Amino acid sequence: MEKFVDVCGVPTKVITWGKSLGETFDKKEMILFIPGNPGICGFYVTFLTTLFKLLQGNVPIWAIGHLGHDEPENTELIPRLRNNKHLYDLNGQVDHKVQFIRNNIPPDVKITLIGHSVGTYISLELLKIDDIGKRIQHGYFLFPAFEYMADTPNGKFYAATIQKYFRFFYYLVVFLTFLPSFLVRFFIAIFYWTRPVYCDSELITNTLTVIRPSVLSKIVHLANDEMEKVKEPDYALIKENKNRLMFYYSLTDNWTPVTYYERLIGSIEGLEAQISDKHDHAFVLKSSHDMAALVAEWIQKNTV
């Protein structure tokens, strides 16, 4: 089930499996998924639906989108970026998750976090919040982008393209809004069909959300802030919590290079971390089922 719920005064999209917001938890545990950027949880529906089935529906799963990355029909309810940049930057997105947990997940419910990309950074920040950190049982971090993002190959490419020519991309998206929806969907399908990804109507619909001018501006605003703020990793925090954390890297990931994986495991003895060449950073484009199987295996191992 998906719905918009008020968080920090802004409608936020939440998708749930097993238990919806406001329902009583039979077991005092749940899984909370925090996406990367774009923070549109619709991209992860196949992954999380598969995970829920593999866990036999025993644990509710909730996915929360980033503030401003999904819009309700009445867009007037969304504060404009120009006068509210603090809501949509990295610190704002962390506070957004804090307020969501405090207001929507009962305090006696234990939380398993799954974070993707910069969702890992946000998840690690949640561990620092006393009333939330003590409720987190485990954290499973997929393609974790929590250190020196601007120094990665993709970070440098981003600076040379999106940051430098954002005005061009923005007005291109504005132009697309004047075209019929079916034609834009056709262009998106052509784009994906020329790449080794699994393209379906769900992917096209979620991409349409990204290419709204107001949403794209917030996505890029967050990305720019990530380049500025995601620097020195908090290894002390990870070491303190290493028995409940799991990190998964890719050998081909240009957001989290192999050197980051090597530095992490070299700095924290006994930390559970894996690296593989089987999946890409944007795993939702072609590996949702496989990643769900991996995560389900980790979760089941830790609940035996």
Give the β-pairing of 10-17 and 61-64: antiparallel
Residue 159 CB neighbour total at 10 angstroms? 13
Q: Decide if 116 is catalytic.
A: no
Q: What angle do CA 82, 86, 89 make, to 5 degrees?
A: 100
Taking 3-state DSSP, the helix, strand and coil percentages for the chain, each rounded to the nearest 5, stand at 50, 15, 35
Contact between residue 155 and residue 146 where contact means Cβ atoms under 8 Å apart? no
Residue 130's SS3 state is helix
User: Are the beta carbons of 111 and 32 closer than 8 angstroms?
Assistant: yes
Q: Are 123 and 139 in contact (CB under 8 A)?
A: yes
What does R_g of the chain's alpha carbons equal in angstroms?
19
Q: Is 281 a catalytic residue?
A: yes
Q: Where are the beta strands (DSSP E) in 96-239?
A: 110-116, 136-142
Which of 117, 217, 250, 288 is flagged as catalytic? Answer: 117
Asked whether 9 and 88 are in contact (CB, 8 A), the reply is no
Known catalytic residue: 253?
A: yes
> Which member of 253, 279, 287, 288 is catalytic?
253
Task: Give the C-alpha separation, 64 to 53, whole Å.
Answer: 19
Of 138, 250, 281, 287, the catalytic one is: 281
d(CA 167, CA 178): 17
Question: What positions carry a catalytic annotation?
Answer: 117, 253, 281
